[in-house]
Structure 1
Amino acid sequence: MKVLITGATSGIGRQLVADYLAAGETVYACGRSEAKLQSLQEELQGQGQLHLVPFDVTDHTGTLIALRQLSEIDCVILSAGVCEYIDEPSDIQGPLFQRVFAANYFGVVNCVEGIIPQLSEGARLVIIDSMARLFPFTRAEAYASSKAAVHYLANTLKVDLAPAGVQVISVSPGFVSTPMTSKNDFAMPMQVTAAEASNAIRSGIEKGKHQIYFPRLFGFIMRMLNALPLGLQLYLSKRMKKG
């Protein structure tokens, strides 16, 4: 199987690369830093067929050029993303939102545009969003809204790519121990390791799930919160902020 993974030099993406290689799959590792990709290749040398595909998902033209050189990809996992928080309402700035959406939303759009011609019947397109989209968390205005947009995009693609035999899978992680979350200055309940995240994603893909939540208990709690009336969600979020 040929697996393409964006965000391959860090966090969940890096772990997925290592695990798919260990399973004997051919992996196309995508990242914007050629130096980090080279380091990844050196670390995993001899563990399988690893191909480096350097490009920045926020670069529309560069993304299309890089992806359209490939062919017959069986599974695409779009995991590249960034996070920026907003400490105070006065910190809300257009450029911050643009940076977050450039990577988290338009980066996905660019990759989808570039890879669709390479997807044939039976292929799987996996798009990672976040459970943050399920609740009005304070400080997460830019990050969570970008992930909500990505989730909606994935759901519409599930419909529109079905006639071509391409399955689209949404992945909604909770807190995962990665370099990105290591910067968080708040409690992260039920945090899992990158290895646990990779196991959950690969297992869900193998089972053909349309939606993957992990960890399971946290996913259940978050979906229950999402089902509450908006007024109660806002009340709970305000209490969390005061706490």
Structure 2
Amino acid sequence: MKADPAVQRRLLPLAEVDAELSRVDHRRRTLPEIVEIAEAEKQLRLKTDALTTIETTLGDLNRDVKRQETEIDQVRAREERDRKLMQGGTVGAKQLTELEHELATLERRQSALEDDLLELMERREAVEADVQHSRVELEKSQAALADAASRRDATLADLDSIEAKRKADREKAGAGFPADLLALYEKVRAHKGIGAALLRSRRCGACRIELDRSAFSMVKEAAPDEVVRCEECGAIMVRTAESGL
């Protein structure tokens, strides 16, 4: 393939624009915030689940406390009724004995229930503290996720702006090339990442490999309008005064 040397040199600014667009794309795909967000989302799920679990435990304890308090109230009401019967003087000796026995049983029952209630309330207090701690941790995770997402969005906005400008530059830089030369450039760039590069001091600017004596002789002997390619990476090597020919 042949192309005017001046046209071949115009591939260099085009390749420079494409290299920056590739860097923008690579940076967009490898933003550290992406990993940070994934980890923050994982922590958020874990802490949400932890809070749900501890809140469920607290709800169970609240029901247990309410049930215990209700039972204590029932025992107290029964005890009060028995005492009123005893104080009323309307019961016989046998019933009085039965009431005294029942009162003793009720007192023991009330004491046991109150001990159980105290234990439940202590457990509830500890769980309430755990709930508060879990909520704080959840808020921290939410804030961390929001911060990472904000930084990601700001960076992506900057990259979008750069990409838009460089795409406009590429349209200008890519205009006016012979169709076959541009097709070759695009094909090499699609497979190798770099379509064209400067041959500087006998070294390919795309793969950075120095040409051996045989390859360098072939390039040196090639006509100025001959499109030469690197034997290692396939990139179009643009020759200038810096090439060392």
Quickly name the TM-score band, shorter chain normalised. Answer: under 0.3
- Which of the pair has the greater relative contact order for Cα pairs under 8 Å at 6+ separation? 2
Q: TM-score, normalised by structure 1?
A: 0.18
* Bigger proportion of residues as strand: 1
Bigger Rg, structure 1 or 2 = 2
